[in-house]
A = this chain, B = another copy of it.
Amino acid sequence: MSSCDLCVVRNRAICAALDSKELLALNAIGRTRSLQAGESLIWEGEDSVLVANVIDGVLKLSTNTEDGREQIVGVVYPSDFIGRPFGGTSGHGVIALTDAKVCVFSRGDFDAFARDHPALEHKLLERTLGELDRTRRWMLLLGRKSAGEKLASFLLELVERLSGAGCRPDTADPSRRIITLPFSRQQIADVLGLTIETVSRQFTRLKNEGVIDLPSRREVTILDHERLVAEAG
């Protein structure tokens, strides 16, 4: 039995395409790695020598302009795939936002394995297509939405992905309305293409209007889901 069989994302990650024999082979070329919050897995611009599956935690994909402005171009959650198989340098760095566990492969090994397992490539394709859709939706947000709409959209997506992706929301409350942010204010700003001050002001505005509550820096309670949807534009 491979350690993959015990993997919590076994049935949600691309590995779900494999039977146990194949999984054993994949297991042989991969290894798990733990990352602390803030630690880099891949640096921007290096030729990407590894790919990975997220087992636990949240990581950001980010690019920077030469003069230091940062834009977070993606956020990955458990069962998501990281990296750029089949050639090419990764245009963005990958950094853990929370403590995280990932299952890493050398890119060469993974490429070869994938070519021999069409079912795996198919899963990867589906996942990549989905990610492309999500990314394009994000472009509408970046290009055309106001600060208020951006933050509301962000919170809604976060709720969905934190629950959907299997990181159960950390509350017993039925409507899972309280979420723990894996982001600092600065990181939220970098996702939304805003400054930290603007993010902060929008947070307090939503709070004053009774749409959300802010029990602590890293927690948000959704008080009025409907209004939040309306705010998202």
Query: Does the CB pair A138–B139 fall under 8 Å?
Result: yes
Query: Does the CB pair A143–B145 fall under 8 Å?
Result: no
Whole-angstrom CA separation of A136 from B115 in the bound complex? 25
CB closest residue in chain B, given A66:
B233
Query: 1/0 per residue A46-87: CB within 8 Å of B?
Result: 000000000000000101011101110110000000001110
From B122, B128, B130, B193, contact of A143 by CB (8 A): B193
Query: Does the CB pair B233–A126 fall under 8 Å?
Result: no
A129 lies within 8 A of chain B by Cβ? yes
Query: Does the CB pair A67–B131 fall under 8 Å?
Result: no
A30 lies within 8 A of chain B by Cβ? no
CB closest residue in chain B, given A122:
B121
Query: 1/0 per residue A117-143: CB within 8 Å of B?
Result: 010011011101111110111111011
Query: Does the CB pair B74–A136 fall under 8 Å?
Result: yes
Query: Does the CB pair A142–B145 fall under 8 Å?
Result: no
A91 touching B137 in the complex, CB below 8 Å, given contacts A124-B125, A128-B128, A233-B65: yes
Query: Does the CB pair B125–A233 fall under 8 Å?
Result: no
Query: Does the CB pair A129–B193 fall under 8 Å?
Result: no
Query: 1/0 per residue A147-164: CB within 8 Å of B?
Result: 000000000000000000
Whole-angstrom CA separation of A192 from B126 in the bound complex? 28
From B67, B129, B138, contact of A85 by CB (8 A): B129
Sorted from nearest, which 3 A-B pairs have the closest CB atoms?
A: A143-B193, A118-B118, A142-B142
A142: B residues at CB distance < 8 A: 139, 142-143, 193
Query: Does the CB pair A73–B121 fall under 8 Å?
Result: no
A88 lies within 8 A of chain B by Cβ? yes
A21: B residues at CB distance < 8 A: none
14 contacting pairs across A/B (C-beta < 8 A):
A61-B136, A63-B140, A65-B140, A65-B233, A69-B144, A71-B144, A73-B139, A125-B125, A125-B128, A128-B132, A131-B132, A139-B139, A143-B193, A144-B193
